Amino acid sequence: MAVAQLNGAVITDEASFHRQSREAFGFPTDYADSIDAWVDCMSYLRDEENMTKFRLKANEVLEIVILEADKMKAAVPELLEELTFCIGGINERYEDYGEKPALELVLR
């Protein structure tokens, strides 16, 4: 299983979330630092688009681990909620295309 880790202790706003995401997922240099751009990048994990440093196999899942998630939740609860919602939506999109869900969120 592929794993990407975000440090929840340093995620205090949307900008810091996107900095962590750029590093953890290897987004392209023209990544727009927005939730829409995050969703776009994470929607191509099994394609040859090179939107992240991960290229998942058909049944593989990318585990997104947020370390010290309690600190992120205290600082930006709405962002954590939005992230959870987006991951669910991305997984539904994969299922709509007849594929297995590609993302799993783990809070530690």
CATH, residue 90? 3.30.370.10
pLDDT band at 75, cuts 50/70/90?
very high
pLDDT band at 9, cuts 50/70/90?
very high
Model pLDDT, residue 55: 97
- For residue 66, give its domain range: 2-107
Return the number of other C-beta atoms located less than 10 Å from residue 79's C-beta: 18
Q: What angle do CA 103, 9, 87 make, to 5 degrees?
A: 20
41-60: per-residue pLDDT in tens?
999 999 999 999 999 999 99
The structural domain count of the chain equals 1
Query: Taking a C-beta distance cutoff of 8 angstroms, is the pair 20, 6 a contact?
Result: yes
